Amino acid sequence: MNGAEHLHFSCNGCGDCCRRHRVAVTHLDLARLGGVVAAPLETLVDWLPAEAVDLDAESASMVALPVGPRLMVLAHGPAGCRFLTDGDRCAVYSARPRDCELYPFVLERDERNPRKPLVRLALFDPAGCGDRSATPVALPELEQADRRRWQEVAAYRALVARWNRLARHRQRFGHRARGAAEFVAFTLQAAGETQKA
């Protein structure tokens, strides 16, 4: 497999990724965070406008809000992710979003093949931090985490599509547009239904 050398990546705990990158979250990411954070879930996110987003990668996750299409991401403060502690540790590590769980690994699959075998492993930020470990990361565990992430992203994008259709209907019939807090409640209801199933 191309990129197998990246399996020797080891996080050095510098916290730079949490300061520099914005993490898109799904309804299931928020539901997990809700299990460990005593704050209203809509306060855990920020909303990025289209011009701040790679639309090739995220267009299906753009939520129709009264202020225009937005991408739901973990909230940042002046020093980066609001969950980054003074000691450069994640305060919600056990419930961190799937994107954080996989970082910095990018698993690329052959989209033409229905079984989508892994064809390349890359690092999201190849010039970034990290050390080289003598013991490689277990590829099957990475692949399993990647599958979980994409299943959740697919479910989230289906919810976003439903929300956006409803937003167009509300607009067409002159009803009040619903905002970010209502979107979070809408998705969390779906997350609760998913977790019960």
Q: Does residue 55 have a pLDDT over 90?
A: no
Cα distance between residue 66 and residue 106, in whole Å? 33
**Phi, psi at 143, each rounded to 5°:** -65, -40
Output the CA–CA distances (angstroms, integers) from residue 112 to 1, 108, 163, 183, in the order listed.
17, 12, 30, 34
* Tens digit of each residue's pLDDT (9 = 90 or more) over 167-190: 999 999 999 999 999 999 999 998
Contact 22, 99 (CB under 8 A): no
Single-letter amino acid, residue 103: Y
pLDDT of residue 190: 86
Per DSSP, helices labelled H in the chain are: 16-20, 27-34, 55-58, 98-102, 139-172, 180-196
Better pLDDT: 113 or 86: 86
Spell out a b/e string for 113-140, using b for 16 or more CB atoms within 10 Å of the CB, else e: eeeeebeebebeeeeeebeeeeeeeeee
Spell out a b/e string for 54-71, using b for 16 or more CB atoms within 10 Å of the CB, else e: eeeeeeebbbbbeeebbb
Q: Enter the pTM of the model.
A: 0.90
- Look over the chain and give the mean of its residue pLDDT values, rounded to a whole number: 90
pLDDT of residue 104: 93
Please name which of 162, 155, 153 lies closest in space to residue 183, comparing C-alpha atoms.
Answer: 162
Reported for 51-58, long-range contacts at CB under 8 A and 24+ positions apart, including other chains, are 58/24
Cα distance between residue 73 and residue 45, in whole Å? 5
* Tens digit of each residue's pLDDT (9 = 90 or more) over 10-49: 988 899 999 999 999 999 999 999 999 999 999 999 999 9
Cα distance between residue 177 and residue 68, in whole Å? 11
